[in-house]
Amino acid sequence: MRLAAGIVVLVLSACSNAGSTTATSHASPSPVAVKTPVPGSVVSDPGCGTTPIYEGGELPDWARVNAPQIQYVVTTPAIALGYLFTYPLQAGLGANTKILWYVSTPRNGYSLGGGTAK
């Protein structure tokens, strides 16, 4: 699971500078971390390695927007979480593994939320 979180961080950081030709500075807000263990949650499975899989609990606002009511994992540091649509996770061509990642911090000072098209 940490490997998956690391890959997500690498992809997000690599994509954040794609196509950028000028250096701009944006103040990024401090991340709002998820408290772990999540208050009121239940560890539903020991997970992979030292990463427990949670159910329920009191998540921060950013982690509840249109969020599914399914099992999830919290990254280390606790600034993102992944909702697990399938468990156990599998690899390979026939795998039907889906994880919805919620991240608490904007990328380069820009909101991660979708805006309205003009």
- 69-116: per-residue pLDDT in tens? 999 999 888 889 999 998 888 888 888 889 999 988 777 766 666 554
**Which structural domain range is residue 40 located in?**
2-13+32-103
- Into how many domains does the chain fold? 1
Residue type, 64: R
**Mean of pLDDT values over 55-65:** 88
Give pLDDT tens digits for 33-51: 677 778 899 998 887 777 8
Segment among 29-38, 46-55, 57-66 with least mean pLDDT: 29-38
* Edge-to-edge strands, sheet with 72-74: 42-48, 51-55, 72-74, 80-84, 99-103
CA distance 70 to 43: 12
- The yes-or-no verdict on residue 64 having pLDDT over 60 is yes
Residue type, 55: E
User: Is residue 93 one of the residues assigned to a domain?
Assistant: yes
**Mean of pLDDT values over 5-22:** 41
User: Is residue 115 one of the residues assigned to a domain?
Assistant: no
Residue pair 53/60 in contact by the 8 Å Cβ criterion:
no
Helices and strands in the chain: count of H runs, count of E runs? 1, 5
User: Is residue 78 one of the residues assigned to a domain?
Assistant: yes
User: Is residue 110 one of the residues assigned to a domain?
Assistant: no
Q: Does the CA dihedral 87-90-94-99 come out positive or negative?
A: positive
Question: In this predicted structure, what is the pLDDT of residue 24?
Answer: 42
User: Is residue 112 one of the residues assigned to a domain?
Assistant: no
User: Is residue 19 one of the residues assigned to a domain?
Assistant: no
DSSP 11: H
User: Is residue 113 one of the residues assigned to a domain?
Assistant: no
Range with top average pLDDT, 10-14, 21-25, 39-43, 49-53: 39-43
pTM for the complete prediction? 0.62
How big is the chain, counted in residues?
118
Confidence category of residue 29, pLDDT binned at 50, 70, 90? low
User: Is residue 27 one of the residues assigned to a domain?
Assistant: no
Instruction: From 63, 56, 54, 24, select the one nearest 40 (Cα to Cα).
Output: 56
